[in-house]
Amino acid sequence: MSDNELNEKQKRIFIKQHYGLAGNHSAVKVCGWTRKSLHDKGVCYKQKFYGIPCHRCLQFTPTVNSCTQNCKFCWRLGRYKYEQFNNWDEPKEIVKKSIEAQKRLLSGFPGSEYNIKKWEEAQKPKQVAISLAGEPTIYPKLGELIKEFHKMEMSTFLVTNGTLPEKLKNLKELPTQLYVTLAAPDEETFNSLCKPNIKNAWEKLNQTLELLKQLDTRTVIRLTLVKGHNMHSIEKYAELIKKAEPDFVEVKAFMSVGGARKRLEYEAMPFHEEIVNFAKKLGKLLKMKFADEQKESRVALLTNINKKNWNVNA
Protein backbone atom coordinates (compact mmCIF):
# COMPACT_ATOMS: atom_id res chain seq x y z
CA MET A 1 0.00 0.00 0.00
CA SER A 2 1.35 3.46 -0.93
CA ASP A 3 0.88 6.68 1.02
CA ASN A 4 -1.88 7.73 -1.40
CA GLU A 5 -4.04 4.74 -0.56
CA LEU A 6 -5.84 5.02 2.77
CA ASN A 7 -4.98 2.55 5.51
CA GLU A 8 -7.48 1.52 8.17
CA LYS A 9 -6.29 4.08 10.72
CA GLN A 10 -6.58 6.91 8.19
CA LYS A 11 -10.04 5.73 7.16
CA ARG A 12 -11.21 5.86 10.77
CA ILE A 13 -9.84 9.41 11.12
CA PHE A 14 -11.57 10.61 7.95
CA ILE A 15 -14.86 9.00 8.97
CA LYS A 16 -14.58 10.66 12.40
CA GLN A 17 -14.13 13.97 10.56
CA HIS A 18 -17.42 13.29 8.68
CA TYR A 19 -15.90 12.38 5.33
CA GLY A 20 -17.67 9.78 3.23
CA LEU A 21 -15.12 7.43 1.67
CA ALA A 22 -15.61 6.43 -1.95
CA GLY A 23 -13.01 3.73 -2.60
CA ASN A 24 -9.29 3.58 -1.92
CA HIS A 25 -8.40 7.25 -2.40
CA SER A 26 -11.59 9.27 -3.02
CA ALA A 27 -13.93 10.97 -0.59
CA VAL A 28 -16.87 13.35 -0.23
CA LYS A 29 -17.96 15.67 2.55
CA VAL A 30 -21.20 17.61 2.94
CA CYS A 31 -20.33 21.29 2.60
CA GLY A 32 -21.43 23.69 5.32
CA TRP A 33 -23.28 25.71 2.68
CA THR A 34 -25.18 22.60 1.58
CA ARG A 35 -26.32 22.24 5.19
CA LYS A 36 -27.35 25.90 5.31
CA SER A 37 -29.26 25.59 2.06
CA LEU A 38 -31.15 22.54 3.34
CA HIS A 39 -32.12 24.71 6.33
CA ASP A 40 -33.11 27.60 3.99
CA LYS A 41 -30.48 29.71 5.75
CA GLY A 42 -28.48 30.91 2.77
CA VAL A 43 -26.53 29.66 -0.24
CA CYS A 44 -22.86 29.56 -1.20
CA TYR A 45 -21.17 32.15 -3.37
CA LYS A 46 -20.92 29.63 -6.22
CA GLN A 47 -24.72 29.61 -6.38
CA LYS A 48 -24.83 33.40 -6.21
CA PHE A 49 -22.11 33.88 -8.83
CA TYR A 50 -22.64 30.94 -11.20
CA GLY A 51 -26.10 29.50 -10.54
CA ILE A 52 -24.92 26.29 -8.84
CA PRO A 53 -27.71 24.72 -6.70
CA CYS A 54 -25.59 24.25 -3.61
CA HIS A 55 -28.03 21.82 -1.97
CA ARG A 56 -27.31 19.54 -4.95
CA CYS A 57 -23.54 20.01 -4.94
CA LEU A 58 -21.15 17.13 -4.31
CA GLN A 59 -17.97 18.25 -2.54
CA PHE A 60 -15.50 15.63 -3.71
CA THR A 61 -11.87 14.62 -4.20
CA PRO A 62 -10.26 11.69 -6.04
CA THR A 63 -7.01 12.22 -4.05
CA VAL A 64 -7.98 12.76 -0.43
CA ASN A 65 -4.53 11.84 0.88
CA SER A 66 -2.16 13.19 -1.77
CA CYS A 67 -0.99 16.63 -2.81
CA THR A 68 2.00 18.41 -4.32
CA GLN A 69 1.90 21.12 -1.64
CA ASN A 70 1.48 21.52 2.11
CA CYS A 71 -0.10 24.98 2.22
CA LYS A 72 -0.20 26.69 5.57
CA PHE A 73 -3.80 27.75 4.89
CA CYS A 74 -5.03 24.21 4.10
CA TRP A 75 -7.78 22.89 6.37
CA ARG A 76 -6.23 19.41 6.46
CA LEU A 77 -4.66 18.43 9.79
CA GLY A 78 -1.80 16.24 8.53
CA ARG A 79 0.95 16.59 5.96
CA TYR A 80 0.65 15.47 2.36
CA LYS A 81 3.01 13.38 0.28
CA TYR A 82 3.10 13.10 -3.49
CA GLU A 83 3.48 9.49 -4.53
CA GLN A 84 2.01 7.51 -7.36
CA PHE A 85 0.69 3.98 -6.99
CA ASN A 86 -0.79 1.39 -9.32
CA ASN A 87 -4.04 0.54 -7.58
CA TRP A 88 -6.16 3.47 -8.83
CA ASP A 89 -9.93 2.99 -8.72
CA GLU A 90 -11.84 3.24 -12.01
CA PRO A 91 -13.74 6.50 -12.77
CA LYS A 92 -17.17 4.86 -13.11
CA GLU A 93 -16.71 3.13 -9.75
CA ILE A 94 -15.60 6.38 -8.08
CA VAL A 95 -18.63 8.30 -9.37
CA LYS A 96 -21.02 5.59 -8.20
CA LYS A 97 -19.42 5.32 -4.75
CA SER A 98 -19.16 9.07 -4.26
CA ILE A 99 -22.87 9.62 -4.91
CA GLU A 100 -23.69 6.70 -2.61
CA ALA A 101 -21.45 8.19 0.09
CA GLN A 102 -23.15 11.57 -0.26
CA LYS A 103 -26.55 9.93 0.17
CA ARG A 104 -25.37 8.20 3.34
CA LEU A 105 -24.11 11.48 4.75
CA LEU A 106 -27.43 13.13 3.94
CA SER A 107 -29.54 10.27 5.32
CA GLY A 108 -29.84 11.79 8.79
CA PHE A 109 -31.02 15.19 7.53
CA PRO A 110 -34.81 14.87 7.03
CA GLY A 111 -36.98 16.48 9.70
CA SER A 112 -39.23 19.44 10.30
CA GLU A 113 -36.29 21.84 10.43
CA TYR A 114 -35.15 20.94 6.90
CA ASN A 115 -36.55 21.76 3.49
CA ILE A 116 -37.75 18.30 2.51
CA LYS A 117 -38.10 19.19 -1.18
CA LYS A 118 -34.46 20.30 -1.28
CA TRP A 119 -33.38 17.19 0.59
CA GLU A 120 -35.13 15.00 -1.98
CA GLU A 121 -33.44 16.92 -4.81
CA ALA A 122 -30.08 16.56 -3.06
CA GLN A 123 -30.26 12.79 -3.52
CA LYS A 124 -29.44 13.42 -7.17
CA PRO A 125 -26.47 15.84 -7.32
CA LYS A 126 -26.30 18.26 -10.25
CA GLN A 127 -22.85 19.69 -9.56
CA VAL A 128 -19.51 18.32 -8.36
CA ALA A 129 -16.79 20.48 -6.83
CA ILE A 130 -13.58 18.52 -7.36
CA SER A 131 -11.82 20.44 -4.64
CA LEU A 132 -12.35 18.89 -1.22
CA ALA A 133 -8.76 17.95 -0.33
CA GLY A 134 -5.50 17.03 -2.02
CA GLU A 135 -4.52 17.80 -5.62
CA PRO A 136 -7.03 16.17 -8.02
CA THR A 137 -4.77 16.26 -11.09
CA ILE A 138 -2.64 13.55 -9.46
CA TYR A 139 -5.41 11.07 -10.30
CA PRO A 140 -4.31 9.67 -13.70
CA LYS A 141 -7.83 9.16 -15.11
CA LEU A 142 -9.18 12.59 -14.20
CA GLY A 143 -10.46 13.34 -17.70
CA GLU A 144 -12.40 10.07 -17.78
CA LEU A 145 -13.73 10.83 -14.29
CA ILE A 146 -14.99 14.24 -15.41
CA LYS A 147 -16.63 12.59 -18.41
CA GLU A 148 -18.45 10.14 -16.12
CA PHE A 149 -19.82 13.01 -14.06
CA HIS A 150 -20.94 14.74 -17.25
CA LYS A 151 -22.77 11.58 -18.27
CA MET A 152 -24.75 11.98 -15.04
CA GLU A 153 -25.74 15.47 -16.28
CA MET A 154 -23.62 17.10 -13.58
CA SER A 155 -21.59 20.26 -14.02
CA THR A 156 -17.98 19.97 -12.87
CA PHE A 157 -15.82 22.57 -11.14
CA LEU A 158 -12.20 21.44 -10.95
CA VAL A 159 -9.84 23.24 -8.55
CA THR A 160 -6.09 22.73 -9.01
CA ASN A 161 -2.97 24.28 -7.53
CA GLY A 162 -1.48 24.32 -11.03
CA THR A 163 1.71 22.40 -10.23
CA LEU A 164 1.04 19.59 -12.73
CA PRO A 165 0.46 21.46 -16.03
CA GLU A 166 1.09 18.36 -18.14
CA LYS A 167 -1.92 16.67 -16.50
CA LEU A 168 -4.20 19.59 -17.37
CA LYS A 169 -2.85 19.77 -20.92
CA ASN A 170 -3.63 16.09 -21.50
CA LEU A 171 -7.12 15.93 -19.96
CA LYS A 172 -9.39 13.89 -22.23
CA GLU A 173 -12.39 15.93 -21.09
CA LEU A 174 -12.32 19.40 -19.60
CA PRO A 175 -14.44 20.45 -16.62
CA THR A 176 -17.32 22.89 -16.89
CA GLN A 177 -15.21 25.40 -15.01
CA LEU A 178 -11.50 25.21 -14.21
CA TYR A 179 -10.01 26.97 -11.20
CA VAL A 180 -6.32 27.59 -10.60
CA THR A 181 -5.35 28.72 -7.12
CA LEU A 182 -2.84 31.56 -7.04
CA ALA A 183 -1.66 32.19 -3.48
CA ALA A 184 1.51 34.17 -4.04
CA PRO A 185 2.81 37.02 -6.21
CA ASP A 186 6.38 35.70 -6.29
CA GLU A 187 8.41 32.54 -5.77
CA GLU A 188 9.69 33.44 -2.30
CA THR A 189 6.17 33.97 -0.94
CA PHE A 190 4.97 30.85 -2.76
CA ASN A 191 7.62 28.62 -1.21
CA SER A 192 7.03 30.05 2.26
CA LEU A 193 3.23 29.81 2.22
CA CYS A 194 2.45 26.87 -0.10
CA LYS A 195 5.42 24.67 0.85
CA PRO A 196 5.61 22.55 -2.33
CA ASN A 197 6.88 19.00 -2.02
CA ILE A 198 7.87 18.69 -5.68
CA LYS A 199 10.69 20.38 -7.60
CA ASN A 200 10.15 23.50 -9.73
CA ALA A 201 6.61 24.01 -8.44
CA TRP A 202 6.63 27.77 -9.05
CA GLU A 203 7.85 27.28 -12.61
CA LYS A 204 5.13 24.68 -13.20
CA LEU A 205 2.44 26.97 -11.81
CA ASN A 206 3.55 29.63 -14.29
CA GLN A 207 3.34 27.05 -17.09
CA THR A 208 -0.25 26.35 -16.04
CA LEU A 209 -1.07 30.06 -16.15
CA GLU A 210 0.28 30.21 -19.71
CA LEU A 211 -1.71 27.11 -20.63
CA LEU A 212 -5.02 28.31 -19.24
CA LYS A 213 -5.93 30.65 -22.11
CA GLN A 214 -5.55 27.73 -24.56
CA LEU A 215 -8.12 25.51 -22.85
CA ASP A 216 -11.64 25.52 -24.26
CA THR A 217 -13.57 25.90 -21.01
CA ARG A 218 -14.49 28.58 -18.50
CA THR A 219 -11.49 29.54 -16.38
CA VAL A 220 -11.05 31.13 -12.97
CA ILE A 221 -8.00 32.35 -11.09
CA ARG A 222 -8.65 32.14 -7.36
CA LEU A 223 -6.51 34.23 -5.04
CA THR A 224 -6.40 32.89 -1.49
CA LEU A 225 -5.30 35.87 0.57
CA VAL A 226 -3.64 35.57 3.98
CA LYS A 227 -3.10 38.81 5.88
CA GLY A 228 0.53 39.41 6.76
CA HIS A 229 1.71 36.72 4.33
CA ASN A 230 0.66 37.29 0.72
CA MET A 231 -1.41 40.48 0.50
CA HIS A 232 1.43 42.45 -1.08
CA SER A 233 2.83 43.15 -4.56
CA ILE A 234 -0.58 43.51 -6.19
CA GLU A 235 1.07 44.52 -9.47
CA LYS A 236 2.87 41.16 -9.57
CA TYR A 237 -0.43 39.34 -9.07
CA ALA A 238 -1.83 41.29 -12.00
CA GLU A 239 1.07 40.32 -14.27
CA LEU A 240 0.66 36.64 -13.39
CA ILE A 241 -3.09 36.74 -14.00
CA LYS A 242 -2.62 38.46 -17.37
CA LYS A 243 -0.73 35.38 -18.55
CA ALA A 244 -3.83 33.25 -18.02
CA GLU A 245 -6.48 35.58 -19.49
CA PRO A 246 -9.15 34.03 -17.22
CA ASP A 247 -12.90 34.54 -17.53
CA PHE A 248 -13.15 35.25 -13.82
CA VAL A 249 -10.93 36.16 -10.89
CA GLU A 250 -12.10 35.27 -7.40
CA VAL A 251 -10.40 37.14 -4.58
CA LYS A 252 -11.05 35.14 -1.42
CA ALA A 253 -9.95 35.34 2.20
CA PHE A 254 -8.12 32.56 3.96
CA MET A 255 -10.54 31.06 6.48
CA SER A 256 -9.26 30.06 9.90
CA VAL A 257 -10.67 26.52 10.05
CA GLY A 258 -9.40 22.98 10.61
CA GLY A 259 -5.67 22.37 10.53
CA ALA A 260 -4.96 25.92 9.34
CA ARG A 261 -5.64 27.15 12.86
CA LYS A 262 -2.49 25.34 14.01
CA ARG A 263 -0.31 27.00 11.36
CA LEU A 264 -1.65 30.53 11.03
CA GLU A 265 -2.87 33.06 13.54
CA TYR A 266 -6.56 33.97 13.54
CA GLU A 267 -5.62 37.55 12.65
CA ALA A 268 -4.28 36.28 9.31
CA MET A 269 -7.90 36.01 8.11
CA PRO A 270 -8.67 39.21 6.15
CA PHE A 271 -11.87 41.14 6.75
CA HIS A 272 -14.34 41.25 3.86
CA GLU A 273 -13.69 44.97 3.39
CA GLU A 274 -9.99 44.22 2.88
CA ILE A 275 -10.85 41.61 0.25
CA VAL A 276 -13.12 44.06 -1.58
CA ASN A 277 -10.47 46.79 -1.55
CA PHE A 278 -7.82 44.39 -2.84
CA ALA A 279 -10.17 43.13 -5.57
CA LYS A 280 -11.05 46.64 -6.75
CA LYS A 281 -7.38 47.63 -7.00
CA LEU A 282 -6.60 44.41 -8.86
CA GLY A 283 -9.57 44.91 -11.18
CA LYS A 284 -8.25 48.31 -12.25
CA LEU A 285 -4.86 46.80 -13.10
CA LEU A 286 -6.49 43.97 -15.06
CA LYS A 287 -9.19 46.15 -16.63
CA MET A 288 -11.78 43.74 -15.22
CA LYS A 289 -14.98 44.96 -13.58
CA PHE A 290 -15.89 44.35 -9.95
CA ALA A 291 -18.84 42.03 -10.60
CA ASP A 292 -20.13 40.63 -7.30
CA GLU A 293 -19.29 39.77 -3.71
CA GLN A 294 -20.48 37.65 -0.80
CA LYS A 295 -19.66 38.98 2.63
CA GLU A 296 -20.29 35.70 4.49
CA SER A 297 -17.58 33.95 2.45
CA ARG A 298 -15.29 36.99 2.27
CA VAL A 299 -15.04 36.72 -1.49
CA ALA A 300 -15.22 39.14 -4.42
CA LEU A 301 -15.56 38.47 -8.14
CA LEU A 302 -13.94 40.15 -11.13
CA THR A 303 -14.90 39.45 -14.75
CA ASN A 304 -15.31 40.85 -18.25
CA ILE A 305 -18.09 38.41 -19.11
CA ASN A 306 -21.68 39.57 -19.56
CA LYS A 307 -23.72 38.48 -16.54
CA LYS A 308 -26.25 36.51 -18.58
CA ASN A 309 -23.40 34.09 -19.40
CA TRP A 310 -22.33 33.46 -15.80
CA ASN A 311 -24.86 30.73 -15.08
CA VAL A 312 -23.27 27.37 -15.91
CA ASN A 313 -26.71 25.75 -16.27
CA ALA A 314 -28.08 28.36 -18.69
Average pLDDT over residues 217-222: 96
Quick one: pLDDT at residue 15?
67
d(CA 284, CA 198): 34
pLDDT digits (tens, 9 = 90+) for 61-112: 999 888 999 888 787 766 666 666 678 999 999 999 999 999 988 887 656 5
Asked whether residue 40 carries a pLDDT value surpassing 50, the answer given is yes
Mean pLDDT (the chain) is: 88
Please state, as a whole number, how many other Cβ atoms lie within 10 Å of the Cβ of residue 287: 10
Quick one: pLDDT at residue 308?
77
* In the chain, % of residues over pLDDT 90: 61
Least confident among 17-31, 142-156, 175-189: 17-31
Quick one: pLDDT at residue 164?
96
pLDDT digits (tens, 9 = 90+) for 117-172: 888 898 999 999 998 888 999 999 999 999 999 999 999 999 999 999 999 999 99
Quick one: pLDDT at residue 73?
79
Asked whether residue 31 carries a pLDDT value surpassing 90, the answer given is no
Whether the CB-CB separation of 63 and 14 falls below 8 Å is answered with: no
The residues, any chain, with a CB within 8 Å of residue 80's CB and separated by 6 or more, are: 65, 66, 67, 68, 69, 70, 134, 197
Strands 177-182 and 155-160: parallel
d(CA 167, CA 273): 37
Quick one: pLDDT at residue 307?
82
Spell 86-106 as b/e; 16+ CB within 10 A means b: eebbebeebbebbbebbeebb
Least confident among 5-14, 150-159, 186-195, 286-295: 5-14
Superfamily of 8-309 according to CATH: Aldolase class I (3.20.20.70)
Quick one: pLDDT at residue 244?
96
Asked whether residue 303 carries a pLDDT value surpassing 50, the answer given is yes
Closest CA to 3 of 88, 85, 87: 85
Average pLDDT over residues 269-280: 95
Helix axes 91-106, 142-151, angle to 10 degrees: 60
Quick one: pLDDT at residue 2?
47
Quick one: pLDDT at residue 1?
43
Domain boundaries, the chain: 8-309
